[in-house]
Amino acid sequence: MEREIVFQEVSFRYPDGEADVFTGLDLTLPRGIVSLVGQNGTGKSTLLLLASGRLLPTRGKVFIRGRDTRDLADETERQKLVSFIYQNMEFDTEESIGRLLAFVHANGLHAPGGEDPVTVAELVEVFELGAILGRRTQEVSKGELQRTILAFSLLYGSPLVAMDEPIFALESHQKQKAMDYLTRRARQEGMSLYYSVHELDISRKYSDSILLFSREAAPRLGRTAEIFTRETIEKAYEVPFDMLKRREELYRKYLVELLRVRGEG
């Protein structure tokens, strides 16, 4: 199992926090597709931020492909190793989405003059962006912006991509389509994906390994078939599996209605 990200005796506490989120964490994230699974408030977002160098440990070290994240102060240097997709990414720009896609593609990490593994036209089709190419990022819905940011990440070409709830505002068919494409491209190009989503079925279907979080123990890493069992999921979430599935369904309905009311569907 090839090592991509290594945590060595990592402890982390937010400046206004009363306790460590992690204490003395030793963990190695492998190459491939890893889904972070567990209750809210157990450290999934924090771990993704530490793993991508967007947060630095209070104590200990994090290495991305052998490089200490403390030595990656420049955002451009971090992006050469790992891109980060935040749960709520919003930014205003005067450029259209079509022009931004072309800019990211032209200035990405893919070898100049080489065979490009991905094109703007392909991503416009996959992520259903054709109708918004002339709009600016602040003029589109939350789901449209999420699909646009996924396209930006693939066009840029970082070898590792960390994603915190990157598809929560997408419709069901768009989630499946996006994850099908992302995981296929990752395997074809040797890219590693580390992500969290609310839907357990997506974590199970679209992962090689799962990093399982709980309130009582350090995150546990294992192959998806080993970790994703009824018993382990119930223990981590502290509720019966059937109730958990029902809660997911209610949350999705709530989110769809919230986006509809806000006009972001």
Laid out side by side, the sheet with 22-30 consists of: 22-30, 3-12, 59-64, 67-68
Q: What is the pLDDT of residues 74-104, one digit of tens each?
A: 888 999 999 999 988 888 889 999 999 999 9
Residue percentage of the chain with pLDDT more than 70: 89
Contact 193, 181 (CB under 8 A): no
Average pLDDT over residues 204-209: 97
Give the burial string for 209-228 (b: 16+ CB within 10 Å, else e).
Answer: bbbbbbeeeebbbeebeebb
**Per-residue DSSP letters for 141-154?**
-HHHHHHHHHHHHH
| Cβ partners under 8 Å of residue 98, min gap 6 | 133, 134
In which band, very low, low, confident or very high, does the pLDDT at 150 lie, cut at 50, 70 and 90?
very high
Q: Tell me the domain boundaries of the chain.
A: 3-262
CATH topology for 3-262 is Rossmann fold (3.40.50)
Q: What is the pLDDT of residues 102-141, one digit of tens each?
A: 999 989 887 555 566 789 999 999 999 999 999 999 999 9
Burial group, residue 151, by CB count within 10 angstroms (0-12, 13-18, 19+): buried
Report how far residue 53's alpha carbon sits from residue 57's, in angstroms, rounded to the nearest whole number.
Answer: 9
In which band, very low, low, confident or very high, does the pLDDT at 265 lie, cut at 50, 70 and 90?
low
Average pLDDT across the chain, whole number: 90
Average pLDDT over residues 166-182: 94
